[in-house]
A and B are shown apart, each in its own frame.
Chain A
């Protein structure tokens, strides 16, 4: 019985440690966010965001970097990028237009 209780305490301690580590990690990430600028107590209306079509580079950062590290355009030829992007389009379920823009971005500075 004591052994079981000790194991339960050990598991509980580790769960607490893990939860604490997760909270610390989340705190570090949130610390990267910029706090809202104070303006003498009076709130200014936030400027309207300028809407624009996302570029191939922006779409690359949004879609590709969430699963793997950055791959540089010069790593592959234009033809290889077309093959790789076809695979990534299927695997990541990328919409057609976004996939085309990312491919154009990668092919602009592709290797020879």
Chain B
């Protein structure tokens, strides 16, 4: 049996080559030892850096925590950005009623003082300043109220407040109405303001600008014009008061003339389908005692509507129904309505300088004061816009008025209005 072995390898290395190789190995060995020492030093350095980094991170974390804690402890109080601003309007008027001399008058200078205490608190007061026929200056506060925005949906209002019976009283600045005279129902049978408190706000519906609005309030309620006669019937001829003794602008102080305050409110729906195209509907009312005895109620129900079709056309109106009890005459029932339409001629695209700045406006009023006087008033007028806030307004009013408190048959009014 035989085993085949590979041939034995043989190599011939000279002493010179062996020594050279040995030197190389020794040099490599010393190099490796040097690298090992550097590696150890690097490891130590890295460890030191890691330690320092950990300390730094700890310090940073502590600093952030302290900053957050300090911020959390800070009191989120009022922004203290007080601001005082004045807005309002002014009118100079020429009027000529049938059977009377025409004349100029400083019809009104009506500043509104706005004082903002912070982001949520505002005090606003509107004043009416004018000259009477004797050259005396009359200065009266048309409203003065404190507004506190409680949250996104509720604002608390208190003071001598504009009352949301319809919308005219709240949007009736002279440079907004396009016709100098107020609608008869708002001028004569509805109160413009009342002393009390109110909750109001708006609730958005969807993301198109649609909203529901609401107002709920309590006020002293109408007063009696003559304290000596109580709420007994007594004939007067005052066209600014809708009835004998009933004083819609009185009873503004404490104590109340009658035992209990009045309550009221408005609910509105506003639906815009695009800018300058919208419709608004509202229903409002108020009811409560009037007079000194408190055995009779004064109540009002108002429907209001407005529509805008394009930036040029607007139509709006109100229907008001009021009633109140008296000792001598039973229930008196003043009521009426008005509708107003206006059109800016710029919508015709005539590109004529004067025509482009004109707006035509018309209104129809009907009022039954419940005391035997019925009035129909037809108003046609125009507005010329010098600027967006400086207007010239002129209109002709024809009245068909019959009864003990009949009004003059016609009147011409020209007015310059400025809003600021």
Measuring CB to CB, which residues of chain A are less than 8 angstroms from any residue of chain B?
7, 10-11, 14-15, 18, 21-22, 25-26, 28-30, 32-33, 51, 53-54, 58-59, 61-63, 65-71, 76, 79-80, 82-84, 86-87, 89-98
Contacts and interface: CB of A to CB of B under 8 A. Distances in A.
Contact of B152 (A15, A86, A96): A96
A84 to B, nearest CB: 6
Given A18-B378, A86-B122, A90-B122, A76 B85 contact: yes
B124 A95 contact: no
B34 interface: no
B229 interface: no
- Interface residues of B, dominant DSSP: strand
Interface of B: 81, 83-85, 87, 112, 114-116, 119, 122, 124, 147, 149, 151-153, 155, 157, 162, 170-171, 173, 175-176, 200-204, 207-209, 211, 213-215, 268, 272, 275-276, 278, 280, 306, 308-315, 339, 341-343, 347-348, 360, 362, 364, 376, 378, 380, 385, 388-389, 398, 400, 419
A79 B175 CA distance: 24
Contacts of A18: 362, 364, 378
Nearest to B151: A96
29 contacts: A7-B400, A14-B398, A18-B362, A21-B362, A22-B339, A25-B341, A26-B309, A29-B309, A32-B347, A54-B209, A58-B209, A65-B311, A66-B308, A69-B389, A71-B388, A71-B389, A76-B85, A80-B85, A82-B83, A82-B116, A83-B114, A84-B85, A84-B114, A86-B122, A87-B147, A95-B202, A95-B211, A96-B153, A98-B211
Contacts of B275: 58, 61-62, 65
Given A14-B378, A90-B155, A22 B362 contact: yes
B202 A32 contact: no
Contacts of A10: 400
A15 to B, nearest CB: 8
A91 B170 contact: yes
A98 B212 CA distance: 13
Contacts of B207: 51, 53-54
Contacts of B209: 54, 58-59, 62-63, 98
